[in-house]
A and B are shown apart, each in its own frame.
Chain A
Amino acid sequence: MKDRTKLLIFIFVFLLFYFLPFGAVRIQGAILEAFHMVQEYAREHVLFCLIPAFFIAGAISLFISKEAVIKYFGAKANKLLAYGVASVSGTILAVCSCTVLPMFAGIYSRGAGIGPATAFLYSGPAINVLAIILTGRILGAEMGIARAVGAVVFSIIIGLLMSLFFKNKKVEDDSNNFTVEAHIKNRSLFQNVIYFLTLILILIFAAWSKPRELIGFYNVVYNIKWYLVAVLLVILFFIILKWFNKQERKDWVLSTWIFAKQILPLLFAGVFVAGFFLGRPNTDAGIIPSRYVSLLVGGNSIFANFFAAVAAAFMYFATLTEVPILQGLLGSGMGKGPALSLLLAGPAVSLPSMLVLRSIMGTKKTLTYVSLVIILSTIVGWIYGSIFY
């Protein structure tokens, strides 16, 4: 960080503490609210959702061979297939948001070209495994599914439009394939499937919430969920013992730790900020009164959707922080449609990423891409809002 930036931060913090009226009830309430929100996350989401999710993300980044997917992104790959793969492969390729841009640059300049590259760029942040889990858990399964499906479908449309607008671009480099290293495989596909299935089931059952009515399948599962988790943990223990060597076990823990280290501080900072500004759902105790939120992004008007998409496109969301912020906004009266617009436009682009994109593919293409993202996110949000509102 440059010294000048530091000085600006110091001045900002100084002015903040100098002038903030801590005596005001609204401010005191908002500060308390911020802590309440962090506590809610600590109690509800860390142990049984975030931690298993980090282990899954760590395992994916380590044990799933990316080579199989990468070959569909080469310059000579079948274009249709490239779009399909690009739109869904974010699940396993983009476990960390910081990998999306380098991959985009690779697909764009050396591989299948601008269409699949932008498809990947748009869908990646929405369908990476951590985002799916956290969105579904905190904002509800309906929103999680809408986010994933919306991102996949519209990434293909954005990709096709981009390649339609800029079709004349030739790949300069003919020696198309990406450097792929020979990878030693220690497990069969079947073993990998069992391993990941066990991990995912542990997450699902551990996070199983209490159903509203105490009857039926959900309640039965709820009553025995800890037994199920215990059995699965034993199975997992034997899988790790039998099918993994010492180095792999160490790497798994390390890779999990790297995700946690990278994401947790930012996520909780985001939770705190969301709590301060917006308050917990339905409390209206944040700094920003609910009526302003409702006014701007409440309901499901085209304007509300558009506003949410534009604001989200320029704002920078650190990995996963879009979830608590959206939780706060929804609780303050944001409509479901605009919420989805925000989820789709937010992590896909931000001011910093626009600058990087511009250096990769130039101003014109970047502007086109950003406009497409805003327009399509608005439309998807609006459609979703009309259906569920």
Chain B
Amino acid sequence: MEIKILGTGCPRCQEVEKRTFDALAEMNVAADVQKVTDIKKIMEYKILGTPGLVINGKVKSAGRIPSKEEIKTWIEEEINK
């Protein structure tokens, strides 16, 4: 699984990163987590507003901090595909 966290490095993006790691750890799932801080690369994902969370190339949330539970559901969805 490939997870990308889009954000230029503000505290809100760090919170998303933390929650993603927590979610992965609690579910005991291994994933390749990357931080995307380059504004041009972020723009490739057609989002307006950071932080953004992308799982397997799909934008799951943008412009807000999703809860850990939400992140878990999204990871679950991707596993069961």
Interface residues of A (CB under 8 A from B): 61-62, 66, 70, 73, 93, 96, 98-99, 101-103, 105-107, 109-111, 177-181, 247, 251, 254-255, 258, 261-262, 356, 359-360
Contacts and interface: CB of A to CB of B under 8 A. Distances in A.
B48 A73 contact: yes
A178 B60 CA distance: 13
A96 B10 CA distance: 9
A251 B15 contact: no
Contacts of B33: none
Interface string B1-29: 00000011111100100000000000000
A320 to B, nearest CB: 15
List the 8 closest pairs (A to B, CB-CB), nearest first: A98-B10, A106-B48, A179-B59, A178-B48, A102-B50, A258-B11, A262-B11, A179-B46
A70 B48 contact: yes
By size class, the interface of chain B is: 20 to 34
Contacts of B69: 247
Contacts, number: 82
B30 interface: no
Contacts of B15: 254, 258
B63 to A, nearest CB: 5
Nearest to B60: A181
Contact of A62 (B45, B59, B64): B64
Interface of B: 7-12, 15, 39-40, 42-43, 45-50, 59-65, 67, 69
Nearest to B50: A102
Given A102-B48, A178-B48, A258-B11, 11 more contacts: A99-B49, A101-B39, A103-B49, A105-B43, A106-B47, A107-B48, A110-B46, A251-B65, A251-B67, A262-B10, A356-B39
A179 B69 CA distance: 21
B45 A66 contact: no
A109 B62 CA distance: 17
A102 B39 contact: yes
Contacts of B50: 98-99, 102
